[in-house]
Amino acid sequence: MATQQVGAVLFPPELSFACSKVDCNHNIFSITPASGASAASSGTNIRFSFPTTNLMDFKNSVIQFRLKMTGAGARAPCNASYLFSRLQVLAGGQTMCVVNDLNLCEYVKFVAEDREPCPHKHDKVLTTMLANGVKAVNATVEDYDASPNVRFTMNLCALAHASPSIVPLDMLPSIDFILTVAGNDVVSTVSGITLPSKNVGTQLARPSAATATFEILDATLLASMYTIGNESYKAALGRRLAENGSLELILPKQMTTFSSAWTGSSRFSYSSHSLDRLHTVWRSTATDQTYNSQKQPALVAGSAYGALTDNPAQSLEEYGAGALAGGGVAEFTSAHQQFQFPTSKADTNLGPILGTNSATNITNRYDFSAMPTATINYRIQSALVPQFDCGPYQWAHLSAEANEVPKTKYTTMASWLHNYYLMSYRLSLPNSGLKPCISGLNSLGAGSTFIEVVSGGGVLASSYDTTTIAESTTVVQIQLGRQIVVIT
């Protein structure tokens, strides 16, 4: 039976006279940035100043913007947030949180948590139809400059998971939310093929000179705001602040990146009062597959257009070709977002050859059978994590368990290894869905903790860059006089 607490005694609701009533008003305000208001290109900062009174819902407030692109066959990456490379949040000039490689961190969360598709967040690389309904073939540019009502949405990233999520801004210093626009290498270019009629497993071509650019237009902050009609809530917070000396704003899912060339291992040190998770991804630097320059979109392994008889090897599960020409589903990621298991198999078996100026058939390029003994683990100080040699298929389960989801973002095991491969490991208690429990690895007393990604067995390539993301919890202590103390 459900119960309700009255004082120190729990009563069933049938016996309780308690009643909750709050005189509340909710509205959403559109706030233009103090800088980067009309157009912002690569490397430009867009700065928003939050309101300074009332309650702001960090979870449901969002950034919206229009997108302008130039260059033959230009295509935006998956996720609107991938167009921004850095976030800094200042409170009274003091850094409350900062995320470098913001686009990578947000996409890793997208893959790790297998988030539901959300088209207004540009959750796919669009090939055959753009967001304004325009048919896109050959060198069509994904440009919305002439479509002012097409706006893409992203959440407040590092602030979106705050607890409590509705924050009294009149108890905090003035907050500035600063986004830096990413480089043009995050976009893709396509050319030379009519998409609906391509063969099974055919990789898209790209223009001979990949020179696509993009601009963020008319960015706005849609601030979800509340006001409480009487002073009871504000007074209660004031009393708690006076009694305890501070109030705590918990910011989980704070991301810090460590990148290096992959040589079979990578090592870094990190210090935090609550290290909650580790995530590691690999992106190819092999000839014609380098992720950090403009390429055509990369085909997701097992997805295809065409008849079943064209190439049975690529007809994998529901992404495979149908019985009729043009059947099946083709799905793409940008090369910048292609996370691969770091195999050293020959290029002819690695998957799509990117960077070529002609369409390429990718028959039998997802063969990972020669790596049955390859393992990759974390090592924290001297302890192996997990404490057994762990292969890529085992990480499919461990990564899902670490992120508390049934699976991460993949549909076939080939696409897991070729497009969405990541290692995630949880070092904290599971999330209850209520107030965050700060339970991650505390390394502050040790000065710093050495973390290593190590490989063993099998054949692993060196033609990759690897990035490990340390996910931690930040505590912001709100003190009298609108002062804060940030504990990382």
Q: For 221-254, write each residue's pLDDT tens digit.
A: 999 999 988 788 888 898 999 999 999 999 999 9
pLDDT of residue 207: 66
Q: Tell me the domains of the chain and their CATH numbers.
A: 26-354+373-487 (2.70.9.10)
Contact 334, 297 (CB under 8 A): yes
Segment among 69-73, 360-364, 469-473 with least mean pLDDT: 360-364
How many residues make up the chain in this entry? 488
pLDDT of residue 193: 52
Phi first, then psi: give them for residue 112, nearest 5 degrees. -65, -35
Phi first, then psi: give them for residue 39, nearest 5 degrees. -150, 135
Average pLDDT over every residue of 101-110: 96
Contact 300, 333 (CB under 8 A): yes
Contact 296, 252 (CB under 8 A): no
pLDDT of residue 256: 96
pLDDT of residue 414: 77
Tell whether the model's pLDDT for residue 456 goes beyond 50: yes
Tell whether the model's pLDDT for residue 355 goes beyond 70: no
Tell whether the model's pLDDT for residue 120 goes beyond 70: yes
Helix runs in 260-325, H state only: none
Distance from chain centroid for Cα 102: 8
Which segments within 32-170 are labelled E, that is strand? 39-40, 45-49, 55-57, 62-70, 74-75, 84-91, 94-100, 152-155, 166-168
User: Half-sphere exposure of residue 44, counting CA atoms within 13 Å on the CB side?
Assistant: 17
Closest C-alpha among 381, 379, 342 to residue 264: 342
Segment among 34-38, 63-67, 309-313 with least mean pLDDT: 309-313
DSSP state of 487: E
Closest C-alpha among 285, 71, 339 to residue 187: 71
Tell me the per-residue pLDDT of 253-304, one tens digit each, with 9 for 90 and over.
999 999 999 988 999 999 999 999 999 999 988 877 788 888 888 877 766 6
Tell me the per-residue pLDDT of 391-413, one tens digit each, with 9 for 90 and over.
888 999 999 999 999 999 987 78
The residue assigned the tokens 């990148």 is: 259
The two tokens of residue 350 are 């690695």
pLDDT of residue 313: 41
pLDDT of residue 431: 83
More confident residue, 314 or 256: 256
More confident residue, 342 or 219: 219
Q: Which of 23-27, 176-180, 416-420 has the highest mean pLDDT?
A: 176-180
pLDDT of residue 368: 64
Tell whether the model's pLDDT for residue 487 goes beyond 80: yes
For the chain, give the mean pLDDT.
83
pLDDT of residue 6: 46
Residues 297, 299, 300, 305, Cα dihedral to 10°: 130
Tell me the per-residue pLDDT of 15-30, one tens digit each, with 9 for 90 and over.
666 667 778 899 999 9
The two tokens of residue 321 are 């070709």
pTM of the model: 0.90
pLDDT of residue 149: 93
Segment among 85-99, 110-124, 189-203 with least mean pLDDT: 189-203
Sorted by sequence, the CB contacts under 8 Å of residue 397 that are 6+ apart come out as none
pLDDT of residue 215: 97
Q: What is the rounded CA–CA span in Å between residue 229 and residue 52?
A: 17
More confident residue, 418 or 361: 418
Tell whether the model's pLDDT for residue 157 goes beyond 50: yes
Question: Percent of the chain having pLDDT more than 90?
Answer: 53
pLDDT of residue 346: 43
More confident residue, 6 or 26: 26
pLDDT of residue 196: 40
Name the band, by pLDDT with cuts 50, 70 and 90, for residue 349.
very low
Q: What is the rounded CA–CA span in Å between residue 109 and residue 469?
A: 10
Distance from chain centroid for Cα 246: 32
pLDDT of residue 154: 96
Name the band, by pLDDT with cuts 50, 70 and 90, for residue 197.
very low
**Long-range contacts for 391-399 (Cβ within 8 Å, ≥24 apart)?**
392/341, 392/368, 392/416, 392/417, 392/421, 395/421, 395/422, 395/423, 398/423, 398/424, 398/425, 399/112, 399/423, 399/424, 399/425
pLDDT of residue 318: 40
Q: What is the rounded CA–CA span in Å between residue 108 and residue 130?
A: 24
The two tokens of residue 450 are 């050495």
Closest C-alpha among 205, 213, 190, 41 to residue 125: 190
